[in-house]
Amino acid sequence: MFIVMIIYYFISAYIAGMLIWNFVREKKDMQQMLLYLIVLVPLVLRIFHIR
């Protein structure tokens, strides 16, 4: 059970990583950049075991 929970933190981190990668690559569309940040928020707080 515990291992599955750890895997979920990895899955979250993987998705967060993809969002950050896209955010960094995005050079033109400001709106898209904001959206990447918004989706990142819950993932980051989860990964840091805050909420």
Partner 1 sequence: MSRNSMIKTVSVIIFAVLTTWSGIQFYQHRHYQLPIVAGPGVTKVVKLSDYCAGLKGTMADTHVFFLQGKEEGGKILIIANTHSNEPVAILSALVMIENARVEKGTVIIIPQFNNSGSRNTKPGDGYPLFFDVPTGWGSKKFRMGNRNASPLDQWPDPDVYVHYPERQLLSYLDVRNTNRTWPGRSDGPLMEKVTYAAMQLLREEHVDLAIDIHGAETMFPVTNCIVAPDKSMRIATIASMTVTAMEGFENHVEPSPKGFRGLSHREIGDYSDTLPFLLEAPTPFLDQPTGPKTVDLLLKGKDPFILSLSKQKKLFVPYDKSGWPMEKRVGQHCSVVLEIMHQYSMKNPDRAILVSNAPHYADLVKNGVGHYFHNPNEAKKGSLYFN
Partner 2 sequence: MVLHIGIILAIMILAYAWAGWKKLSVELCMLASAVAGGLAGAFIKTPPIGALARHLIEGTFTYLDVILVFTTATIFIAIVAESGGVNYVVRGIIKAFYRKRIIALLLLMVVILIPGALTGAGSVSILTVGAPSALALGYLGISKKKVTAILFIIAGLSAAAPPVNIWAMIVSAGTAIPYVGFELPLGIPVIVLGTFSMLVLGWKREEKKELEEILKEMPEVPDKMTWWRVLLPFLVFFGLIIVARIRPFSFPILGLPLEFTIAGIIALLVSPKKINILILSRDTVKLLLPLLATMAVVGSLQQIMTATGVRGMISYAVISMPLILLYFLLIIIIPFSEGILTYGGAAIIGIPLVWMLDSIGLHATVVIAGLSLLWPLGDGLPPTALIGRLSVMMADYKGSYWSFLKATWIPWIVITIVGILMIIFSAKLAFLVRWSM
> Which partner from the list partner 2, partner 1, none does 47 bind, CB cut-off 5 to 8 Å by kind?
none
Site for partner 2 contains 6 (CB under 8 A): no
CB of 15 to partner 1, least distance (A): 14
> What is the Cβ-side half-sphere exposure of residue 29, based on CA atoms within 13 angstroms?
10
Return the number of other C-beta atoms located less than 10 Å from residue 48's C-beta. 9
**CA distance linking residue 2 with residue 6, whole number of Å:** 6
Query: Measured in whole angstroms, how far is the alpha carbon of residue 14 from the centre of its chain?
Result: 7
By the criterion CB under 8 A, which residues form the site for partner 2? 1, 3-4, 7-8, 11-12, 14-15, 18-19, 21-22, 31-32, 34-36, 38-39, 41-43, 45-46, 51
